[in-house]
A and B are shown apart, each in its own frame.
Chain A
Amino acid sequence: MMRANPFEPKIVAFCCHYCAYAAADLAGSMRLQYPTNIRIIRTPCTGKLEVEYFMRAFEYGADGVLVAGCEEGSCHFIEGNLMAKRRVNYARELLSESGLERKRLRMVNISAAMGTVFAETVKDMIETVRKLGPNPVRSDHVNVKQEIHR
């Protein structure tokens, strides 16, 4: 059967082990349905994420990147999620300078108990990115050459 919209966004979701990852797990245990377009990468804390992680994800063809950390004030490592927020903002600026929409990168704050919110957030992110269309960066066009010497 033909789909009405053949574009299915690919979303990379960096989820903090202490909250959003557990929320995703909970969404699963609650048998909540959310689209399968999302690829979850568990991180020890969103503070572990650096600007280049987001940039590389887009470079390799992700249509959207979701960063899900703890609610502000309840980071397991005190301020990792606040650092992530600033880095996400910086990366959004860089993406827009490079010609990609800021909305493709989004940070959300979710506690471990928010399984339903997690599923809703994923759906919303996918719809946002679906409206934007595919990432114009074709990963087969990417030529990363890390010159190493010595």
Chain B
Amino acid sequence: MIVAQRKRIPELVEILKGNKRILVLGCGTCVAVCLAGGEREVSIISSALRIASNVQELDFEIGELTIERQCDNVFIEEAAETIEKYDVILSLGCGAGVQAVAERYAEKPVYPGLNTAFIGILEERGLWAEKCAACGSCVLHQYGGICPITRCAKHMLNGPCGGSREDRCEVRPDLSCAWQLIYKRLKGIGQLDRLRKIEQPKNWRMNLDGGCRVIVREDHRI
């Protein structure tokens, strides 16, 4: 899922200052699961903003709404009637959600309420970790399902770097060395042979290069 984190209230106040009717718009998908932008967080952030508005006499009028998925026009459409009533939107969706809403409302400011952080998983209660950098051409099969691009601090495709100590990464001792994990995992599944192969330089054109990436599926177009 996409993992995000709330912005602090003073930053939100700075962004919203001077506006009156503000809709805090949550998203019920990824950011709800990572406890950053779902219905509950909409309620909490709205409360905090109302308190800030009273304390600083900002005269905010804040509405709360959470839709199923902000990065999907079908769901944005359902909220159209409500959105119309507000001057600005504070979106608690990920960066894609914010932009999807903004694209639909050419004359309405849509501001981000979260900092979108990464694609990751819930590792323990209250702890999320990045797992994929969306490189555009996945090589997980070579590394026993552990992504060296995301999880090795030096993004090494032919590791390890030689600096790891006691299975810790030399750059980030709080993390396991990704290459230690890859080795253990490949050994476990009987594929250590894979490490004999020198991985060729990766084609980074599939990554963020020359503008945003687009996928076209002719079989789904009309």
A: residues with CB less than 8 A from B are: 50-52, 55-56, 58-59, 94-95, 97-100, 136-138, 141-150
Question: Do the beta carbons of B56 and A99 come within 8 Å of each other?
Answer: yes
Cβ of B133 within 8 Å of any chain A Cβ, yes or no, is no
Known A51-B44, A95-B51, A149-B65; further 18 A-B contacts with Cβ < 8 A: A55-B47, A56-B47, A58-B51, A94-B9, A97-B8, A97-B9, A97-B48, A97-B52, A98-B49, A99-B51, A99-B56, A137-B50, A143-B50, A144-B46, A144-B50, A144-B62, A145-B64, A149-B82
Q: What 0/1 pattern do residues 32 to 56 of B give for CB contact below 8 A with A? A: 0000000010011011111110111
- Cβ–Cβ < 8 Å partners of B8 in chain A: 97
Question: Do the beta carbons of A136 and B55 come within 8 Å of each other?
Answer: yes
Q: How far is the CA of A141 from the CA of B51 in the complex (A)?
A: 10
Q: How far is the CA of A146 from the CA of B46 in the complex (A)?
A: 10
CB distance from A47 to the nearest CB of B (A): 14
Nearest A-chain residue to B6, judged by Cβ: A94
Question: Do the beta carbons of A142 and B61 come within 8 Å of each other?
Answer: no
- Cβ–Cβ < 8 Å partners of A147 in chain B: 23, 63-65, 82
Cβ of B162 within 8 Å of any chain A Cβ, yes or no, is no
Q: How far is the CA of A97 from the CA of B40 in the complex (A)?
A: 18
Cβ of B78 within 8 Å of any chain A Cβ, yes or no, is yes
Nearest B-chain residue to A136, judged by Cβ: B55
Nearest A-chain residue to B12, judged by Cβ: A97
CB distance from A98 to the nearest CB of B (A): 4
Cβ of B10 within 8 Å of any chain A Cβ, yes or no, is yes
Cβ of B81 within 8 Å of any chain A Cβ, yes or no, is yes
Known contacts being A138-B54, A149-B81, is A55 close to B64, with CB within 8 Å?
Answer: no
Taking a contact as CB atoms closer than 8 A, the residue among B23, B43, B51 that contacts A98 in the complex is B51
Question: Do the beta carbons of B55 and A59 come within 8 Å of each other?
Answer: no
Can you list 28 A-B contacts (CB < 8 A)? Answer: A50-B40, A52-B47, A55-B43, A55-B44, A55-B48, A58-B47, A98-B51, A98-B55, A99-B52, A99-B56, A136-B54, A136-B55, A137-B50, A137-B51, A137-B54, A138-B54, A143-B50, A143-B61, A143-B62, A144-B46, A144-B62, A144-B64, A145-B61, A146-B64, A149-B65, A149-B79, A149-B81, A149-B82
Q: How far is the CA of A95 from the CA of B10 in the complex (A)?
A: 11
- Cβ–Cβ < 8 Å partners of B63 in chain A: 145-147
Q: How far is the CA of A144 from the CA of B46 in the complex (A)?
A: 9
Dominant secondary structure of chain B at its interface with chain A: helix
CB distance from A105 to the nearest CB of B (A): 12
- Cβ–Cβ < 8 Å partners of B56 in chain A: 99
Nearest A-chain residue to B56, judged by Cβ: A99
CB distance from B126 to the nearest CB of A (A): 9
- Cβ–Cβ < 8 Å partners of B51 in chain A: 55, 58-59, 95, 98-100, 137
Q: How far is the CA of A149 from the CA of B79 in the complex (A)?
A: 8
Known contacts being A58-B51, A98-B9, is A145 close to B44, with CB within 8 Å?
Answer: no
Q: What 0/1 pattern do residues 59 to 74 of B give for CB contact below 8 A with A? A: 0011111000000000
Q: How far is the CA of A150 from the CA of B28 in the complex (A)?
A: 15
Taking a contact as CB atoms closer than 8 A, the residue among A52, A58, A95, A148 that contacts B43 in the complex is A52
Q: How far is the CA of A100 from the CA of B49 in the complex (A)?
A: 12
Q: How far is the CA of A130 from the CA of B61 in the complex (A)?
A: 29
- Cβ–Cβ < 8 Å partners of A143 in chain B: 50, 61-62
CB distance from B182 to the nearest CB of A (A): 35
